[in-house]
A and B are shown apart, each in its own frame.
Chain A
Amino acid sequence: MSNWVALLPEVILSLAAMFILMRDAFVRPVQAGAGGAAGGGRDDRRMSVDCLVTLYSIAGALIASLWLMDASAAPDAMIALDGFRVAADVILLGGALLVVSLSRDYLDREGLRSPEFHALILLALVGMMVLVAARDLILLFVGLELMSISVYVLTGFVRKNPRSSEASLKYFIVGAFASAFVVYGIALLYGATGTTRLATAAEVIAAAPAGGDLLLVAGIGLLLIGFAFKIAAVPFHMWAPDAYDGAPTPVTSFMATGVKAAAFIALLRVLTVDLGGAAQVWKGAVWWLAILTMIVPNLVALSQQDVKRMLAYSSVAHAGYLLVGVVAASELGRSASLFYLAAYTVVTAGSFAVVFHVAGRGDRNQRVRDYRGLGWRRPVLGAALLIFLLSLAGFPPTAGFVGKLYLLRAAVDAGETSLAVTLVLTSLVAYYYYLRVVWKMYFEAAPEDAHTPPSPKAGFSLVIGTCVALILLGGLFPGRIIDRARDALADAPAPGMVVQAEDPPSP
């Protein structure tokens, strides 16, 4: 197998992104303001094509990724080729598939027809996939930047809206700052281990368990801070609610699912597998990050009056739950995190979609009070949101509950009972704000002049229905998914372990 095949999913996505951009260069865009019926129609048609190209290429990348499942790479390859990467790709690509297919209506409604939207989503996706697959710190950084820069632009995509621009700027400044931390951390790690290859670094660290090596400690510390910014762990989360709130909602959804998942998976792998030998260096710090990230955002979310902002805080809190899996630092912890992440991705994509659908043109109706009586006026939409909220709250019989139980098992297994107790008690706090939306939807009567969201289009309903089905399936019959998550991890190489390459790299 040629080495390039290992990059097949990324190649597919990059080609699609370039196609969309090039097509834009050759097909003359409709002048703003001159958009008559014909122009609007052409614009519309072009967006349909963009959207379809994006969806097909993501689906293609997904198939390519699954096809790579049985392949394996040399231990010192720059790109991983194992179950872990495939599992990560499935989560990232599946999430993107949901987000892109759901956002079509929103883009139409808000008049965001530029082709760059889809191109940037695809490029960000390539960045994410490189980030989670990288076995070399330099490559990891390239993936991180490709992802981040694309998302900065997406955040400010609604140029007319000052809040969107503000969010983008904030995100960019903080994000660039975080990237600097990561680069510095990489440099120091190189100094400590003499290599940028993660597998080699793991061997060096395992061979000389020097907890007192200042370079190593500083390097890991800086890397951790950088990633904590990216996954919005408290106290490095300040940018997240503003950026999430200001960005167009589909982008928020993309940030809360894809960006967070990618950064988290990379952190999970680098810390618990490659730097597992130096666990004593980072474990205490991550423990505190987890505790704080579970407590603070859940408390702040209690007082939010805006559903989008509430979901933003809640998604920060979910990063805290995920960090419990990192602290557990075991195979159980990793598979638990991946399962939780998969469930979280589906739910988040679904709930943000319902939120922007309800919000209506210009996102006018996204306060909690705008949800009064929604459950009776739009029963199906309300029921879907109810199930999403229950899953976010970790209530049976949803995938969110199984994920939470998975993380609890990992925490108890690692002897971290205090983390387990914090996890459940903070979920209790979360119950309150999730329930508040439920009681607005069902217990309070809608005012006379209430805005009733239009009945969703067939495509939108289909995708939301898929999300609901996935969540219930994951909650009732998670057996197969759990087995997959476990298998994915079984072949992630432990530090110092050498995986036999099936196909030696061809010259």
Chain B
Amino acid sequence: MMALYDGHWILTALVLLPLVGGAACLVVPEARAKTVALATTLVLFALSLPLFWTFDTAEPGFQNLVSIPWIEAWGISYAVGLDGISILMILLTTFTMPLAVAGSFSYIRRRERAFYAMLLFLTTGMIGVFVALDLFLFYVFWEIMLIPMYFLIGVWGGERRIYSAVKFFLYTAVGSLLMLVAIVTLAWIFQDGSGAWSFAYEDLVSLELARRAQLWLFAGFALAFAIKVPLFPFHTWLPDAHVEAPTAGSVILAGVLLKMGVYGFLRFGLPFFPAAATDPVVVNAMLVLGLIGILYAAWVAAVQPDAKKLIAYTSVAHLGFVVLGVFGLTTQGIEGGILQMVNHGISTGALFLLIGMLYERRHSREIADFGGIAKVMPVFAFALVVVALSSVGLPGTNGFVGEFLILVGTFRTHPWIAAIATTGVIFAACYMLPMVQRVLFNRLDREENRTLTDVNRRERLILAPLLALILLIGVWPGPFLNRTRASVEALIEHVEARSASVPAAEPPSVDAGGGE
């Protein structure tokens, strides 16, 4: 069995399977669509799980590499592989999807076939983004993802769904399109030196670019990633998208989509443009924006009357921490950042699922509409408290490990920023705990809340793995950090070595910058 699994087909299967499953969803009877979708995502998860064990923790480069020529005239190939930066992201995706599907069983009552097909098409795009090692392929997946998400928000969303869907689409597209120009420019610079066009990751990462070209091209990539993260001040699409999206949409947005910005920085931004990414101005700007995100989002979250919007803003704060960790440019910081992305996916995904369960029962997300429901929904209350504490970063939960590593890592290079960011942990408690208190505790003073039913078996099955992971990563993060270490260390080495050796003289190609 292991020998069979050893093959390189697995990543491709992960990309193609949801596509097939999605197509199947469209043709089966309406009532069967959810079963097909759940089965597909469970198989997907089962397929991806052995990646975790077979992963070679000593190997900093790419594993399970497959490269097939695709458009040879342009140097484009179908190239996929995984390394320490992407493995946790892939597993996070395959772990989140069955939960998102199962969490929609009673929430989605109309156009089910299309809904589950969209979820699965989205999965193809997400896994594709994490495994692609050719920039053309990466861009195709990156863009394809927008369409199912646009539909998920627009068709099954709330009141202002059209506004939110279009805003989401256009915001993300601005960045993507400029990134496309930057990608083409990179491929052209490669052609200038070697005579042939190439979009292959390995080829483009080996380019030695002049400083000015690096800054322009980095700007082209960074805008796309910053919007996706979302980094303050590019975050305004996120609360709208989160609030209007159906539960599964929010879970995927928080769980996976938001990781792509940071993943992009780690995969492309830093290694392609080391001089730009270590430029003090760029680093400080990113750190300060991350910091503003942490503090500003915390304050805004604290005054939200809508629980879903509150959680949406906590995403901005959490991702601010991750950006801090990445641009602290230390091994701990980046490792912590990657782990924190996983943590955020789990805890925020769980929060959205819990709020979704509440909404299904009560058709309201206003914090003020609840109070004292711990008495009628004890299991729900337990889950919400654990997840909220994990989101705040209580020691013993996963959130603590990630934030601690990030702060330690950043402190080594930027002590003041780390010090200010630490207050963000306190602010997190200031918005999350009162929300928990006002929803779960206080007095049960509303008649309609007395009859709420506790979580059913399906919902418990959804919550159990999330709670288990929260505690598991909290007390035993070693296996997760192990898998990222070699690649992160190699990345830091690469960035430091290459940023020191930037050609001083500017070749004539530098004027072809990537953005204006």
Asked if B143 contacts A479 (CB within 8 A), the reply is no
Contact partner of A435 (CB less than 8 A), chosen from B74, B166, B514, is B166
B185–A395 touching, CB < 8 Å:
no
**Interchain CA distance A92-B71 in the complex, whole Å:** 25
A415 interface residue per 8 A CB criterion: yes
Contact A479-B72, Cβ < 8 Å, known A421-B516, A428-B170 = yes
Binds A, one of B172-180, B456-464, B483-491: B172-180
Question: Which of these, B71, B162, B166, B178, contacts A482 with CB under 8 Å?
Answer: B71
In the complex, the answer to whether B513 meets A417 with C-beta atoms within 8 Å is: yes
From B136, B165, B173, name the one whose CB has the most chain A CB atoms within 10 angstroms.
B173
Question: Which residue on chain B has the smallest CB distance to residue A417?
Answer: B512
Asked if A424 is an interface residue, CB under 8 A from chain B, the answer is: yes
Interface string of A361-394 (1 = CB under 8 A from B): 0000000000000001000000000000010000
Q: Tell whether A139 is near chain B: CB-to-CB under 8 Å.
A: no
Contact yes or no, B181 A424, CB < 8 A: yes
Give the Cβ gap from A88 to chain B, nearest Cβ, in Å.
Answer: 20
> Do A442 and B185 touch (CB < 8 A)?
no
Contacts of A390 in B (CB 8 A): 147
Residue of A nearest to B220 (CB): A421
Q: Report if B73 contacts A (CB, 8 A).
A: yes
Any B CB within 8 A of the CB of A486: yes
Interface status of B492 (Cβ within 8 A of chain A): no
Q: Mark each residue of chain A from 408 to 420: 1 if its CB lies under 8 Å from any CB of chain B, else 0.
A: 1100110101101
B370 contacts chain A at the CB level, 8 A cutoff: no
Which of B73, B136, B144, B197 is within 8 Å of A479, CB to CB?
B73
Say which size band chain B's interface belongs to: 35 or more
A-chain residues with CB within 8 Å of residue B197 when the two chains form the complex: 409
Question: Which residues of the other chain, B, contact A21 by a CB distance below 8 angstroms?
Answer: none
Specify which chain B residues have a CB less than 8 angstroms from the CB of A168 in the assembled complex: none
Decide yes or no: A405 and B184 within 8 Å by CB, A418-B516, A439-B154, A482-B71 being known contacts.
yes
Query: B173 contacts which chain A residues (CB < 8 A)?
Result: 428, 431
B:150-209 near A, CB below 8 Å: 150-151, 154-155, 161-162, 165-166, 169-170, 173-174, 177-178, 180-181, 184-185, 187-188, 191, 197
A396 contacts B140, CB within 8 Å?
A: yes
> Contacts of A401 on B, CB cut-off 8 Å?
140, 143
Residues of chain A lying within 8 A (CB to CB) of residue B188: 409, 412-413
Which residues between 75 and 99 of chain B lie within 8 Å of chain A, taking CB atoms? none
**Given the known A-B contacts A439-B154, A443-B161, A482-B74, are A408 and B180 also in contact in the complex, defined by CB atoms under 8 Å?**
yes
Report whether B144 and A396 are in contact in the complex, using a CB–CB cutoff of 8 Å: yes
Name A335's closest neighbour in chain B (CB-CB).
B73
B166 touches A439 (CB 8 A): yes
Contact A417 B155 (CB under 8 A): no
CB closest chain-B residue, reference A390: B147
**Docked-complex contact B177 and A425, CB < 8 angstroms:** yes
User: When chains A and B are docked, how far (Å) is the Cα of A483 from the Cα of B72?
Assistant: 9
Cβ-defined contact, B178 with A396, below 8 A: no
Cα A477 to Cα B170 with chains together (Å) = 27
Interface size on A, residues (CB 8 A): 34
Assess whether A408 is in contact with B184, with CB atoms less than 8 Å apart: yes
| A427 interface residue (CB < 8 Å to B) | yes
Question: Which residue of B is nearest A422, CB measured?
Answer: B516
Interface membership of A110, Cβ < 8 A: no
Task: With CB as the reference atom, state the residue of chain B lying closest to A420.
Answer: B181
A421 nearest CB neighbor, chain B only: B516
A397 touches B140 (CB 8 A): yes
Please report the C-alpha to C-alpha distance between residue A415 and residue B184 in the assembled complex, in whole angstroms: 12
- The verdict on A444 contacting chain B, using a C-beta distance below 8 Å, is yes
Query: Once A and B bind, how many residue pairs between them come within 8 Å at the CB atom?
Result: 91
Judge if B60 is at the interface, Cβ distance under 8 Å: no
Residue A493, interface by CB 8 Å: no
- Chain B contact surface mostly: helix
A417 to B173, CA, bound (A): 19
For A409, A420, A477, A482, the residue with the greatest tally of chain B CB atoms inside 10 Å of its CB is: A420
Q: Which of B73, B140, B144, B181 contacts A421 (CB 8 A)?
A: B181
Check A443/B154 contact, CB under 8 A, given A405-B180, A417-B181. yes
Give Cα A417 to B182, complex, Å.
Answer: 10
Which chain B residue lies CB-closest to A485?
A: B73
B494 CB-CB contact with A under 8 Å: no
Is B70 in the interface zone, CB < 8 Å from A?
yes
Determine if B412 is an interface residue (Cβ-Cβ < 8 Å). no
What chain A residues lie within 8 Å of B191 (beta carbons)? Answer: 413
Nearest CB of B to A211, in Å: 24
A478 sits at the interface (CB 8 A): yes
Report B-chain residues with C-beta under 8 Å of the C-beta of A435: 150, 166, 169-170
B154 touches A424 (CB 8 A): no
Contact with A along B269-311 (1 / 0, CB 8 A): 0000000000000000000000000000000000000000000
Name B44-82 residues within 8 Å CB distance of A: 70-74
1/0 per residue A313-325: CB within 8 Å of B?
0000000000000
A418 to B181, CA, bound (A): 10
Query: Could you give, for residues 251-273 of chain A, a 1 whenever the CB lies within 8 Å of some chain B CB and a 0 otherwise?
Result: 00000000000000000000000
Q: Which of A376, A396, A432 has the most CB of B within 10 A?
A: A396
B107 at the interface (CB under 8 A from A): no
Q: A396-B139, A397-B140 are in contact. Are A483 and B181 (CB under 8 A)?
A: no
B14 to chain A, nearest CB (A): 18
Cα distance A401–B74 in the bound complex, in angstroms: 14
Q: How far is the CA of A438 from the CA of B146 in the complex (A)?
A: 13
B396 contacts A by Cβ under 8 Å: no
Decide: A439 near B516, CB < 8 A? Known: A408-B181, A479-B72, A482-B71.
Answer: no
Assembly CA distance A136 to B340 (angstroms):
69
- Cα distance A463–B174 in the bound complex, in angstroms: 34
Contacts of A486 in B (CB 8 A): 73
Closest CB in chain B relative to A129 CB, distance in Å: 28
Q: Which of A64-108 contact B (CB under 8 A)?
A: none
Q: How far is the CA of A427 from the CA of B197 in the complex (A)?
A: 24
Known: A413-B188, A486-B73. A442 touches B154 (CB 8 A): yes
Knowing A376-B111, A408-B184, A443-B154 touch, does A483 contact B73 (C-beta < 8 A)?
A: yes
Residues 436-494 (chain A) with a chain B CB within 8 angstroms? 438-439, 442-444, 477-479, 482-483, 486
- Write the residues of chain A forming the contact surface with B, with a CB cutoff of 8 angstroms: 376, 390, 395-397, 401, 405, 408-409, 412-413, 415, 417-418, 420-421, 424-425, 427-428, 431-432, 435, 438-439, 442-444, 477-479, 482-483, 486
Given contacts A408-B180, A408-B184, A409-B197, 7 further A-B contacts (CB under 8 A): A396-B143, A405-B180, A412-B181, A417-B514, A420-B184, A421-B516, A435-B170
Q: List 17 A-B contacts (CB under 8 A).
A: A401-B143, A405-B136, A408-B184, A409-B74, A409-B187, A409-B188, A409-B197, A412-B512, A417-B511, A420-B181, A421-B516, A425-B177, A428-B170, A428-B177, A479-B70, A479-B72, A482-B74
